[in-house]
A = this chain, B = another copy of it.
Amino acid sequence: VAARLLATHPRFHLAFATSDRHVGEAVDSQLGVPVSQKLRFEPNDAAVQLASSCDVVFLATSAEVSVEIAPAVLAKGKHVIDFSGAFRLESAEDYTRWYRFEHPAAPLLGRAHYGLPEIFGPPKRAVAGGDPVLIANPGCYATAAILALAPLVRAGMVEPRGLVVDGKSGVTGAGRKATEDYAFNEIDEDLRAYKILQHQHTPEIARALGRVADGVKGLTFTPHLLPIRRGLLVTCYARPVAGVLPYDIENKLAEAYAGRAFVQVCPADRVRLHRVVGTNHARLGAASNGDMVVVVCAIDNLLKGAAGQAMQNLNLLYGYDEWLGLSELQRVAP
């Protein structure tokens, strides 16, 4: 998806694409869109060398691979936008615990920009001659959960302790693995929770919220696998601080995203996958009473939850409008 968006972007073009599986095949026939040059897929291990021919490298690799390639690409002075979790967490220990590998490039963790523009702003580019930028493109569940909760946590309207995020995602979120777990017969007409209390987006959400307010602790996240292909919805639970009214909550969310191209605030029961799938939009809404604030947020896990957000980050890195090459999406969304 990212390659397709890039190949058809009005300001950028695709310089190369690697895929061990499709080495030598024409890129345009795989993508199904015209590509400016006659590109063919290169082997994955040529990525660092090929980086010389471009300005920015997108890494749609696993975290274990990204930690190896990203430093090498940065060393060549090229920007990196990484789709994996390799540079989203705070410390090497987080990786040992949640990703179960030793992070070989821990110093980069502090330098990476967490690319959720609506909350953390555009990536900061050094002046000419400065260091290249490393953008950690957020996880799909994390994007939806942070958009839902950050304005309220930042404003001190909800208790930062004991937040609950109940997530539901379509199967494209799980990658293209051909394992029996993702066989049609196993998924269709089923629902199950997975990685309960162990999903790696838990510390990612907690860290991001911890950057907007003190006291974020004990956050719980449970992902579920939906029998659909595309789309992700989170239902977030937070306890309101005494005196906060439903009206305050709704106003705060509306205010936080006023003027943003890709976040729509609406009544909570009008948040649904159909309105966002195929677009780069997040749609969110809240309902609350004295006991609980419930915020529901829906995104397309492959767009705002991955490739669309990466394009937003790329646009912002170069000072363009964030919606460049993305605004047509809703035109043709199913």
A residues contacting B by CB (< 8 A) are 4-5, 8, 32-33, 162, 164, 166, 168, 170-172, 176, 178-180, 182-197, 217-220, 222, 224, 226-231, 233, 235, 237, 239, 268-269, 271-275, 277-278, 287-292, 294, 296, 298, 328-334
- Given known pairs A227-B184, A227-B228, A235-B222, the reply for A189 and B273 (CB within 8 Å) is yes
Can you list 30 residue pairs at the A/B interface with Cβ under 8 Å? A5-B332, A8-B328, A32-B330, A162-B239, A162-B291, A162-B292, A168-B168, A168-B191, A171-B184, A176-B180, A183-B184, A184-B227, A188-B188, A191-B298, A192-B233, A192-B269, A192-B272, A193-B294, A193-B296, A196-B268, A196-B269, A196-B296, A218-B290, A219-B291, A220-B294, A278-B278, A278-B334, A328-B331, A332-B332, A334-B334
Chain B residue nearest in CB terms to A8: B331
- Smallest distance from the beta carbon of A3 to chain B beta carbons, Å? 11
Most buried by B among A222, A226, A332: A332
Q: How far, in whole Å, are A230 and B184 apart by their CA atoms in the complex?
A: 11
Q: Nearest Cβ distance between residue A172 and chain B, in whole angstroms?
A: 6
**8 nearest A-B pairs in the assembled complex, by CB-CB distance:** A218-B291, A192-B272, A178-B180, A184-B187, A166-B166, A220-B292, A196-B287, A189-B228
- The answer to whether A226 touches B226 (Cβ under 8 A) is yes
Report the bound CA distance from A171 to B330 in whole Å. Answer: 21
Decide: A269 near B332, CB < 8 A? Known: A176-B180, A183-B182.
Answer: no
**Min distance, Cβ A168 to any Cβ of chain B, angstroms:** 6
Question: Is B231 in contact with A189, judged by CB distance below 8 angstroms?
Answer: yes
Residues of B within 8 A of A229 (CB): 184-185, 188-189, 334
Q: How far is the CB of A14 from chain B (nearest CB, A)?
A: 13
- A182 to B178: give the CA distance in the assembly, Å: 8
Number of copies: 4
The answer to whether A272 and B190 have CB atoms under 8 Å apart is yes
Q: Which residues of B contact A334 (CB under 8 A)?
A: 229-230, 277-278, 334
Query: With A8-B331, A176-B185, A182-B183 given, is the CB distance from A220 to B237 under 8 Å?
Result: yes
A235 to B288, CA, bound (A): 20
User: Once the chains bind, are A166 and B235 in contact (CB under 8 Å)?
Assistant: yes
**Given A178-B178, A268-B193; A224-B168 close (CB under 8 Å):** yes
The one of B191, B272, B274, B332 in contact with A228, judged by C-beta atoms closer than 8 angstroms, is B191
How far is it, in angstroms, between the C-alpha of A164 and the C-alpha of B165 when the chains are bound?
11
Residues of B close to A180: CB separation below 8 A: 176, 178
* Shortest Cβ distance from residue A299 to the other chain B in the assembled complex, whole angstroms: 12
Contacts of A237 in B (CB 8 A): 164, 166, 220, 237
- Complex interface: chain B residues within 8 A of A296 (CB): 193, 196
Instruction: Check B162 against A32 for contact (C-beta < 8 Å).
Output: no
Known: A5-B331, A191-B233, A226-B226. 11 other contacts (CB 8 A): A4-B331, A164-B237, A168-B224, A171-B185, A176-B183, A184-B229, A185-B229, A189-B189, A191-B226, A193-B296, A328-B332
